[in-house]
Amino acid sequence: MRKRICILAVSVLVVLMASLLLSGCSHTVGTASARKQAASTGPDWGTLTVEKELPLQYATQFTVTEYEDGYALIDITDSGRYLVVPEGMAVPSGLDKDIVVLYQPLDRIYLAATSAMDLFRAIGGVGSILLSGEDADGWYIDEAKQALEDGSMLFAGKYSAPDYELIYSEGCNLAIESTMIYHTPEVKEQLEKLGVPVLVECSSYEGDPLGRMEWLKLYGVLLGKEELAEELFDQEVAAVNDILGQTGTGKTVAFFYITTTGTVNVRKSSDYVTKMIEMAGGEYVFSNLEDDGNALSTVNMSMEAFYDGAKNADVLIYNSAIDGELHTVDELLAKSPLLADFKAVKSGDVWCTGKNLFQEPMGLGKLIADMHTILTEDEPDSGELNYLHRLTNGGT
Amino acid sequence: MQKKENRRYCIGFAGLALALCVLLVGNLNAGSVNLSVGEICRILFEKTGENAAIVWDIRLPRIVAVVLLGGALSVSGFLLQTFFANPIAGPFILGISSGAKLIVSLTLIGFLGRGMSIGSVALIIAAFLGSMMSMGFVLLISNRIKRMSMLIISGVMIGYICSAVTDFVVTFAEDSNIVNLHNWSLGSFSGMTWDNVGVMSTVVIAALALAFLLSKPISAYQLGEVYAQNMGVNIRMFRAALILLSSVLSACVTAFAGPISFVGVAVPHLIRSIFKTAKPIIMTPACFLGGSVFCLFCDLIARTVFSPTELSISSVTAVFGAPVVIIIMVRRQKHNQ
């Protein structure tokens, strides 16, 4: 009897697993590919004439080649090539297999790369984003927050665990991910299997802050708003051009935050924030923190090393992105009383970034201007500053 | 007496099979997109339609993976609890998850830190290699140590060493690597594909079959090492086989879903209290079914309660698994008194 029970139990298991596996493995995704537009009958890819290369001044991580009839080929370093096909046009025949086809209008985007939202906002493209990788509380950008609250944009799960069902059922036609997706490659692969093209935006790899902002042009190409994007970018660059032309102030600056373990997170010399300090006329105190060939942009150092390097810095800027905003010097000293010895603390030249800064790459020009203001003016008017505020000497 | 036992086994298996069926239907029916039972049935049979990919490419591979991996983890825990005669022995007590985390962290930081992208297969292989590396050390030590308690301590120490090396590596890692390593270490069944299922089913079914074939030597071993030796069991080979099988099962789980806590510890206890037996010929299939049911239940909660945000599977398994172990222990203690 017992033997029979065991045989029965094992048989049930084997049958159950075998039926599930066989039925599953025999299935091929027909629906995802069916969602794509019909097979190409468009012009021959090899014969399409290049009209121009999108002019880029600072960005080095992507290029855009514009072809006749409105086709545009985006090439993102280490991410891939994407062909933007204008609405109503067919996919060119003979396209290289690695090129991902994006069909305009791209109006059902899943945006998991938070820094791109500000660039979409700048060109009036928030309405093209249907699905967000952040919920309303995670956004500092009012338009995104509002869209999520009124339901015109839906929260579709964070980048590492997206809601595949929602993304698929909403007919998402493009997922824009940050380089964080490289840590969870299975997510990218699954989205692609479901027929959702994935574009990895690598603006975080841009060494020049204005290069990050220049990704605006790429989103302009995706939404068919190239001219507006170029115009806006030129305006932003013009606003900082005066500052870029000036000689250095000779003032030293430390940009940092104190981690929960008591170490100090500072930028390496190759980081874009370091470059912004230099563009604003300052000298970064940790310019000796060389890039060692990897993509790291920050480093955690001991308080002793920070004390040694930044004690005599003329200006301290506290990075609130991770740790939250500070408003008073007492709040800063609560993190480390040692900072009371610092020259900048004694002179009152301690500033803090706004938490919205890292969601707003369009504001990088304004941040450079802010840095320039605090380096050149003794008592800058707080109304002049967009992303920095001085820590006051009052209690918490 | 024998009849009573048999009836209990029948009821136990029937109950588990019923729970499995109910949860299979529940998991298949639950998700962000509302699909009626009729539509799901139609999609299952016809494999076509607007939402076919949701059922066939999102829900089903995940459900099958949960069934396989949940069952594998539970059987792995049962084998180790039997082998060590220790109620808290679980698949990760031998440092399997720590070893996997170490190699995954080295892979993430080594490749991505240099701007090189990797595929999911690389992470799966890294996790599997890490798990088996820890197991290899335990196997080496098991040849020199006879006492089970010492072997468990050795496993724990290997786990500590791996964790220490991981922490060392993390010290020099970028924040994004640390965040993602943390996410990985919480475990998730999200994003399973049929390709994943194909590989994991081969490993799990082969290991399960071998574990089932070991039922007789395990039974003998439960009565004592000397008794088993007298029954002709080669203890040295048996030890190695049991550790190897258990490790392969849990390494497979870690590779595909990350470390999942408490299933390997809680489910064998639960099954033992239902079936009131420790006989491997009953416990092995029962633990597999129990692990599948438990994980299907936990995964249903993980992906639906705060949808579209998904809870880590380990958070849910721990919440439901830990009280189960405590209740069973207290009851057993009372019963013994």
Asked if residue A298 and residue A219 are part of one domain, the reply reads: no
Contact A290, A268 (CB under 8 A): yes
Residues of chain B neighbouring A322 (CB-CB closer than 8 A): 175
- Which residue of A8, A27, A190 is in closest CB contact with B47? A27
Backbone dihedral angles phi then psi of residue A50, each to the nearest 5 degrees = -75, 125
- Chain A contacts in chain B segment 271-300 (CB below 8 A): 281-282, 285-286, 288-289
CB contact under 8 A, B309 and A31: no
Residue A222 lies in a domain: yes
The string of DSSP letters for B275-290 reads: HT---HHHHHHHHHHH
Report residue A4's pLDDT band, with 50, 70 and 90 as the boundaries: low
Quote the pLDDT of residue A291: 60
Instruction: Give per-residue pLDDT as tens, A151-193.
Output: 999 999 989 889 999 999 999 999 999 988 888 888 999 999 9
Asked if residue A123 and residue A66 are part of one domain, the reply reads: yes
Residues with Cβ within 8 Å of B59's Cβ and at least 6 positions away in sequence, in order, are A165, B27, B28, B31
Angle at the Cα of B119 (from B114 to B124), degrees rounded to 5?
110
Quote the pLDDT of residue A33: 39
Query: What CATH number is associated with residue B134?
Result: 1.10.3470.10
Quote the pLDDT of residue B292: 96
Instruction: Give per-residue pLDDT as tens, A383-396.
Output: 788 889 999 886 54
Residues of chain A neighbouring B29 (CB-CB closer than 8 A): none
Average pLDDT, chain A: 85
Range of the structural domain that residue B73 is part of: 2-336
Residue type, B136: G
Q: What percent of chain A has pLDDT over 70?
A: 87
* Structural domain ending residue among the three candidates A212, A237, A262: A237
Quote the pLDDT of residue B101: 85
Dist. CA B93–CA B89, nearest whole Å: 6
Closest CA of chain A from B114, distance in Å: 4
- Which residue of B171, B193, B282 is in closest CB contact with A6? B282
- Chain A contacts in chain B segment 213-272 (CB below 8 A): none
Instruction: Give per-residue pLDDT as tens, A81-119.
Output: 999 999 989 999 889 989 999 999 999 999 999 889 999
Across chain A, where does the E strand assignment appear? 50-53, 62-67, 72-76, 80-85, 99-103, 109-111, 129-132, 154-155, 174-177, 198-200, 252-258, 264-267, 283-284, 298-301, 315-318, 350-353, 388-390
**What is the average pLDDT across B173-178?**
70
Instruction: Give per-residue pLDDT as tens, B15-45.
Output: 999 999 999 999 999 888 888 888 888 998 8
Residue A299 lies in a domain: yes
Q: Is B60 on the interface with A (CB under 8 A)?
A: yes
Nearest chain A residue to B71, by CA: A13
Least confident of A309-313, A326-330, B69-73, B325-329: B325-329
pLDDT higher than 60, residue A219: yes
Instruction: Give per-residue pLDDT as tens, B91-133.
Output: 777 788 888 888 988 887 777 766 666 777 888 888 888 888 8
Mutation target to probe the B interface, by most B beta carbons within 10 A, among A3, A6, A261 is A6
Residues of chain B neighbouring A195 (CB-CB closer than 8 A): 53
Quote the pLDDT of residue A38: 45
Residue A6 lies in a domain: no
CB contact under 8 A, B115 and A205: yes
Least confident of A309-313, B51-55, B138-142, B233-237: B138-142
Instruction: Give per-residue pLDDT as tens, A323-335.
Output: 778 899 999 998 8
CB contact under 8 A, A32 and B288: no
Mutation target to probe the A interface, by most A beta carbons within 10 A, among B20, B47, B55, B117 is B117
- Which residue of B123, B176, B190 is in closest CB contact with A161? B190
Asked if residue A274 and residue A220 are part of one domain, the reply reads: no
Instruction: Give per-residue pLDDT as tens, A123-133.
Output: 999 999 999 99
Average pLDDT, chain B: 86
Report residue B71's pLDDT band, with 50, 70 and 90 as the boundaries: very high
Q: Is B61 on the interface with A (CB under 8 A)?
A: yes
Residue type, A91: V
Query: What CATH number is associated with residue A291?
Result: 3.40.50.1980
Asked if residue A271 and residue A210 are part of one domain, the reply reads: no
- Which residue of A21, A186, A193 is in closest CB contact with B201? A21
Q: What percent of chain B has pLDDT over 70?
A: 97
Residue A27 lies in a domain: no
Report residue B294's pLDDT band, with 50, 70 and 90 as the boundaries: very high
Asked if residue A145 and residue A206 are part of one domain, the reply reads: yes
Dist. CA A87–CA B184, nearest whole Å: 40
Closest CA of chain B from A20, distance in Å: 7
Q: Compute CA A311 distance to the chain's CA centroid, rounded to the nearest angstrom.
A: 32
Asked if residue A282 and residue A181 are part of one domain, the reply reads: no
Quote the pLDDT of residue B176: 67
Quote the pLDDT of residue A100: 94
- Which residue of A6, A12, A31 is in closest CB contact with B281? A6
Dist. CA B121–CA B126, nearest whole Å: 8
Residues with Cβ within 8 Å of A3's Cβ and at least 6 positions away in sequence, in order, are none
Domain count, chain A: 2
CB contact under 8 A, A24 and B118: no
Contact A5, A13 (CB under 8 A): no
Asked if residue A289 and residue A184 are part of one domain, the reply reads: no
CB contact under 8 A, B117 and A157: no
* Structural domain ending residue among the three candidates A173, A207, A237: A237
Residues of chain B neighbouring A6 (CB-CB closer than 8 A): 281-282, 285
CB contact under 8 A, A300 and B171: yes
Q: What percent of chain A has pLDDT over 90?
A: 54
pLDDT higher than 60, residue A24: no
Range of the structural domain that residue A144 is part of: 34-237
pLDDT higher than 60, residue A2: no
Instruction: Give per-residue pLDDT as tens, A338-382.
Output: 999 999 999 999 999 986 777 888 888 889 999 999 999 888 877
Nearest chain A residue to B64, by CA: A20
Q: How many CB pairs under 8 A join A and B?
A: 170
Asked if residue A80 and residue A189 are part of one domain, the reply reads: yes
Contact B337, A195 (CB under 8 A): no
Domain count, chain B: 1
- Which residue of B68, B193, B282 is in closest CB contact with A190? B193
**pTM score > 0.90 for this model?**
no
Instruction: Give per-residue pLDDT as tens, B150-170.
Output: 878 888 888 899 989 988 887
pLDDT higher than 70, residue B281: yes
pLDDT higher than 80, residue B142: no
Asked if residue A211 and residue A71 are part of one domain, the reply reads: yes
Asked if residue A264 and residue A211 are part of one domain, the reply reads: no
CB contact under 8 A, A183 and B53: no
Dist. CA B270–CA B265, nearest whole Å: 9
Asked if residue A58 and residue A152 are part of one domain, the reply reads: yes
Residue A5 lies in a domain: no
Report residue B1's pLDDT band, with 50, 70 and 90 as the boundaries: low
Residue A395 lies in a domain: no
Residues of chain B neighbouring A205 (CB-CB closer than 8 A): 115
Quote the pLDDT of residue A35: 45
Asked if residue A79 and residue A137 are part of one domain, the reply reads: yes
